[in-house]
Structure 1
Amino acid sequence: MAQVRARVELNVGQRSHIPAEIVSFEGLQDGQEHVALVFNRADSEQSVPLIRMHSECLTGDVFHSSRCDCGEQLNESIEAMHLQGGVLLYLRQEGRGIGLYNKIDAYVLQSQGMNTYEANNHLGFDDDLRDFSDAVLMLQALGLNHVRLMTNNPRKLNALRDAGIQVEEVVGTHAHVKVGVAGNRNYLETKVKHGSHMLDIKKIKKPDEI
């Protein structure tokens, strides 16, 4: 069982300074330095906390790459948790678990016409190498066994339910579609068709509306 190691107050968010508590852990299984961001909303009517398991994406979260929607989903989650309270688990699983350098190699293949899954397979990896066991341990260490899950990915939902975490509600994020030659529409459509993501591409959220 993972244990809470330390808690530090800080302000986060792209467009506003939102108070949050960052939590580190000890006893996780994969050796990565996953963290939780805890957003407390004293006047929230939500008795069951909103949770998001967000896999690290340097290109999207930090550099706002046009190839994905990761940074926009992260910002949307932070804004939602500012209003409702909740916990964001930031998981060090770059590129669906293949790592940053391999993800950049996959980008090259995508530029040549492969979709995101085909590129990973061409490099010798499965569609998705992520494991959410440590996310379960983090929730348990925080005393959270009954949650509302913010995701479009059925694998995350099933991972929590299989581990005995009660998911009362699934809250989807918007479809953050970026238009243009280097846009991400094909990427999003592939996640829906190949990965069964619960995402309505027609419900577009423009970047300046995040």
Structure 2
Amino acid sequence: MAPRAPPTMNPWEINALNYEFPEQGSLNPDGTMVTSATTWRQVQDPVIYPGLYAPSGIDIMTVLLRVVGRPNPQVDLGPVDCSVALVLCDMLQADAPIIYVSDSFSELTGYSSHEVMGRNCRFLQSPPGGQRASKRSSDKSAIRRMRQAVFSGQEIQLPVTNYKKHGQPFKNLLSIIPVPVDSSGSQYCVGFLCETD
């Protein structure tokens, strides 16, 4: 029997293996300071793929596995993977700030991750720059239902009007799923965004 060739890595595995976090104090491509206190060195272990899940340090794969494997789901999400537009909020911090957004979220909304980190998701409910949006009563009702679900730790899926970075409104089929970390309750809420017609 001929010897087997070693398996080859696909491009995302190679990219993850070669990923290096920027040094503290260096500049991002847009000229802002790098805020990550983490420095990274390349790891040569072929079993470990650093940066595979998120350079943010959030193990988003574990969060997604908890979402998919949750008992008694109330909302049917369909297939869930890292390509979906999602936002992760820390419910134990004041005002439930965003701690992670997917690249698809940035593509959908036009906001980069550094523009939204630390903010509450409600900023998507109004156009940027202090413009006033005419809130229809259906949106007010949806927002009230959404807030009640979040505060009570319930799953919810509903259409809401959100706004992209440049002020363009879009109809968002929003799914909010609380993610329990341990017996102390839910630490995270995951919001899945889906633009509809």
TM category (shorter chain) comes to: under 0.3
Q: Which has the higher helix share?
A: 1
Larger Rg: 2
Higher relative contact order (CA 8 A, sep 6+): 1
TM superposition score normalised by structure 2: 0.26
Q: TM-score, normalised by structure 1?
A: 0.25
